[in-house]
Amino acid sequence: MYVYLNDRIVPRAEAMVSVFDHGFLYGDGVYETMRTYEGAIFMLDEHLVRLYRSASMIGLGMPLDQDRVKSALYDTLGANSLRNAYVRLTVSRGSGAVGLDPDLCRAPTLVIIAEEMKDYPKAMYEKGIKLIIAVTRRNSREAIDPRIKSLNFLNNILAKIEAKKAGADEAVMLNGSGYVAEGTVSNIFFFRDGVLCTPSVACGILDGITRDTVLDLAVREGLTVEEGEFSRDDLYGASEVFLTNTTMEVMPVSQVDSVRYGAGEIAGLLRRMYRGEVKAYVENVKGRGPSLWGYE
């Protein structure tokens, strides 16, 4: 396995970052998780826009422009001969003396890890997964805006620990005002009284790229969609709940706390539509050839 590290592709064993890296010391950095299908990185431009936005929101100057990041991503996939992959791109503030001041770091550290995509078990898509509503609240937008996809993940990890203790697959966090926000690595949707609901970005969530795609698909399908503030009772009263993210796509939920949900027709429909969208995207990228950056 090969890893991209600051301008070079190196064997995994040589992919080392300094103990003085502020990503390690302070969680000072940003990242993106992407997924490739048949060699094409799905929604690559959207992921890069979000990456540069996250970097800008923490005052981190990206070491490469977007085109060079694209080539670095495809070079890493090529070096590992991967077609269906999970890709994680991390940019930290870089290595510097101990201290919070970002100016202590001379240059950011950029790492790309690409691995064979391990699909979630089929049974999860068939039966749905189990959620809890965590006691841990989502960071407020005024503290660390959840739109920053940062290395500082402790908020989500605390909620994840709660989920594990409860034997659940994922935890949903409420925001400081008690409204539903998002999962630890996912956005949440629910279907209630004929309306597909999802917390608005103003609730303090990451504006997931899968969330955006699913919202577009739902509108295209003629579903009534509402982005807003929803209580835990709104969620409990839903007929269907599902999660979205880049790697799991559209994942049905069978249970939130002690409330159980039905078959997941809407989730099934949107997942099929999402798959169709992926297929069209891959065809389009393939048609353009050079977008694959020589990786075939």
- Does the footprint of ligand PMP cover residue 140 (CB under 6 A)? no
Whether the CA torsion 243, 239, 181, 127 is positive or negative: it is negative
- Is 186 one of the binding residues for ligand PMP (CB under 6 A)? yes
Binding status of residue 215 toward ligand PMP by CB under 6 A = no
CA distance to 154, 212, 230, per residue, from 179 (Å): 20, 20, 5
Among 76, 136, 175, 187, binds ligand PMP (CB under 6 A): 187
Q: Residue 246 interacts with ligand PMP (CB under 6 A)? A: yes
149 is catalytic: yes
Residues from 33 through 52 that contact ligand PMP (CB under 6 A): 33
Give 129 or 206: the residue with its C-beta nearer to ligand PMP: 206
Q: Nearest approach, Cβ of 185 to ligand PMP (angstroms)?
A: 4
CA-to-CA distance for 212 and 42, rounded, in angstroms? 13
139 counts as binding ligand PMP under rule CB under 6 A: no
Instruction: Select from 71-79, 125-133, 178-186, 227-235 the region that touches ligand PMP (CB under 6 A).
Output: 178-186
Q: How far is CA 154 from CA 160, 184, 198, 211, 266, in A?
A: 9, 10, 24, 23, 32
Stretch that binds ligand PMP, among 86-94, 184-192, 220-228, 258-266 (CB under 6 A): 184-192
211, 215, 217, 285: which one binds ligand PMP (CB under 6 A): 211
Task: Considering only the stretches 75-83, 192-200, 208-216, 218-226, report the one whose residues sit in contact with ligand PMP under the rule CB under 6 A.
Answer: 208-216
Min dist CB 244 to ligand PMP, Å, is: 6
Question: Can residue 245 be called a binding residue for ligand PMP (CB under 6 A)?
Answer: yes
Minimum separation from the CB atom of position 290 to ligand PMP (A):
25
- Does position 76 interact with ligand PMP (CB under 6 A)? The reply is no
**Residue 249 CB, nearest approach to ligand PMP (Å):** 9
Least distance to ligand PMP, CB of residue 187, Å: 5
Which residue numbers are catalytic? Answer: 149
Binding site for ligand PMP (CB under 6 A): 33, 156, 182, 185-187, 206, 208-211, 244-246
